[in-house]
Structure 1
Amino acid sequence: MVGYLLAFVFLLASANGDTISRIINGSPTTIASHPHQISLQRYTTSSGGYWYHTCGGSIVRSKWVVTAAHCVEGSSASTLQVVLTNGFLSDPNRKSYAVRRVVMHPNYNVGSGAYPHDIALLELTSDADLSGTNKAIELATTGENFDRQTCEISGWGHTVTGTQPNKQIPDQLQETNGVIMTNSECTSSWGTNYAGSVHICINNRNTGTCQGDSGGPMVCFRGTTPVLAGVTSWGVSGCGTTYPSVYARVSTYRSWLDTTMGI
């Protein structure tokens, strides 16, 4: 049980390229395979001002997006936008939506384990256009369990491990999959950093998530129906694939999510 001795990091990207961001050893994919996937972008005043991809997220209602709390911590709504694409960040027909409200879980980073309650909702100023390929995804229900199921993760970012400078986020969405581990297995890897009531982790089999993928979806299946089971949160520093990536357990937060969205 040595996992707790390792440095671990949030999985978001920066504007200056100081951090790495990618699906490790993943494959290019299309938005048709992940129609709920969005790019969460932040505005910087550097170089005259521009928007840049910083995290992922998932459309769960036409006006609501789920992401990680650490992706929006300290950010005002006016500095964030949600972008729907065809799977390419350069999509000339991409649609950008302003954020009206940022709602972080009230217990974010409070309690046992590393970065517990790392989940947030973004309310858009207008309904996202879901008439085409982009679609909302169902949320895991309270107590729903996906142990041993093969689930999918997706995001934009670098495709190699390490800390090399000047990496570029790839234009095309990347995907991989892995098997959901039991709480005891995750604890064996991460020790007391892992809290099974709020975390879920995945056996990435030499693939995984890293900075820039934060807030993005881990999708499992209820029969043939895709379900948002996890929100990408944190992993080992340097983003190696020896240790499992950790996600916020959506089933724990279903009641809070519904209440916040007024459902």
Structure 2
Amino acid sequence: MRLALLAAAVLAAVPCAHAASIFFPEMPPTDRSDSRSCGFTDPERLFLLGSGEYQRELPVAEPPRGVVQVGTAPWTALVGLRTAEGPLAWLCGGALVSERVVLTAAHCAEAGSAHGSLAVRLGEHDLATDTDGATQEFAVQSVRIHPGFQQPAQRDDLALLLLDRPATVTRRVRPVCLPRQGEPLPADTLLVAAAFDLSGELSGAQPTATASGGRLARHSASVAPLRVCREQFEGLPHLGFIFPQGLMESSEVCVVRSQDAQCSHDSGGPLVTAGPGPSRLVGLRLLSGCQQQQPEVALRLDNYVDFIKTTTAEMLEEAKQTSV
């Protein structure tokens, strides 16, 4: 069983926001072309094939396994590390929740920022090519780690990244909606995951990362009772370090991948509701595997919404004061 334990490596809905908020896009309005709306997709009639080539039309109604329609997950972010010694290395995934803020796993942000400057890319579909033509790349102006996060544990494994400028909302780049604070997440809730297959080392003198599956993969999943993940991972050697109090309903969610899911390792990658209506961000991937229908653990975000909004306001105010 192949598991992505990036945290162990570190060891050595509804509204996106409320109508009065100026920090997050609003919902409503319901106009998909409105930059204030979140969680909508407006996919292009452009498909990324398994060969890495782009095709305008498909002979079938639904894209087959290994084919991704461009623009179906416009909030998906790549979080990387830029150093003077080498090129940009992509370490983790993330989710765009406003034009200035990306959420990712704290262990990714902490390990990366300790060794260089963090960067974010939006609108990417294939890391192996530069033919996408619509990506947006940003420096990270500031990082805020949840105060409850303490390595090597993965409890409160959440970080906010403030981009150096606002993202431009397009068909390939758009924020996802936040859930309501304390929103229920019952078993069998349908979800969608979008991720790149990122693997590498986040510990040591210099974190490294590779994209062994450089194309964006999108698959369906569903919420499972937390006991399913407890049973799956209870024998894992590092589990006691990662979750010393065990998995908790308030901060973790157990997710089971669909049978046709491609293997992808992408800590911090988004898990969103499958609809109907605008997509809401319910989790960030933490602990995953590659077997079909294998459960994975994600950070459950509905109990962090107030923290996200308050912290975003503080970061924007600090950035404003710095620029004066």
State the TM-score, normalizing by the size of structure 2: 0.63
Partner of 2:256: 203
Q: CA deviation at 1:261?
A: 1.0
Give, in whole Å, the separation in 1 of the partners of 2:222 and 2:91: 26
1:45-124 superposed matches below 5 A: 45-46=84-85, 49-76=86-113, 79-89=117-127, 90=130, 91-109=132-150, 115-124=154-163
* Matched length: 234
Q: Report deviation, 1:104.
A: 1.0
Assess, with a 3 A threshold, how the Cα gap between structure 1 residues 12 and 150 changes in structure 2: closer, same or farther: farther
Alignment match of 2:279 (pick from 222, 226, 243): 226
CA distance in 1, matches of 2:172, 2:262: 25
Q: Is contact 2:181–2:302 with CA below 8 Å preserved after alignment?
A: yes
Residues 42, 132 of structure 1: CA spacing in aligned structure 2 closer, same or farther, 3 A cutoff?
same
How far does residue 190 in structure 1 lie from its aligned partner after superposition? 3.6
Counterpart AA for 1:65 = V
State the Cα distance separating 1:259 from its structure 2 match: 0.6
Q: 1:253 aligns with which of 304, 309, 319?
A: 304
Unaligned runs of 5+ in 2: 11-64, 199-208, 235-244, 315-324
Higher share of residues assigned strand: 1
- Give the Å deviation of 1:145: 2.3
Instruction: Report SS of the residue matched to 1:55.
Output: strand
- Bigger relative contact order (CA 8 A; separation at least 6): 1
Q: Counterparts of 1:74 and 1:133 in 2: how far apart (Å)?
A: 28
SS of aligned partner of 1:214: coil
Task: Tell me if structure 1 keeps the 8 A contact 2:144–2:159.
Answer: yes
SS at 2:173 equivalent? coil
Alpha-carbon distance between aligned partners in 1 of 2:224 and 2:313, rounded to the nearest angstrom = 32
Distance in 2, matches of 1:244 and 1:208, equals: 14
- In structure 2, the CA distance between the partners of 1:177 and 1:120, relative to structure 1 (3 Å rule), is same
8 A Cα contact 2:182 2:303, kept in partner? yes
Q: Structure 1 residues 39 and 31, CA, compared in 2 at 3 Å: closer, same or farther?
A: farther
Q: How many angstroms apart in 1 are the aligned matches of 2:296 and 2:142?
A: 28
Structure 1 residue corresponding to 2:71, chosen from 11, 28, 32: 32
What runs of 5+ residues in structure 1 fail to find an aligned partner? 1-5, 15-25, 159-165
TM score, norm. by length of structure 1? 0.77
User: Is the alpha carbon distance of 1:186 and 1:171 closer, same or farther for their aligned partners in structure 2, counting shifts above 3 Å?
Assistant: closer
Give the equivalent residue in structure 2 for 1:142: 181
2:82 corresponds in structure 1 to 43
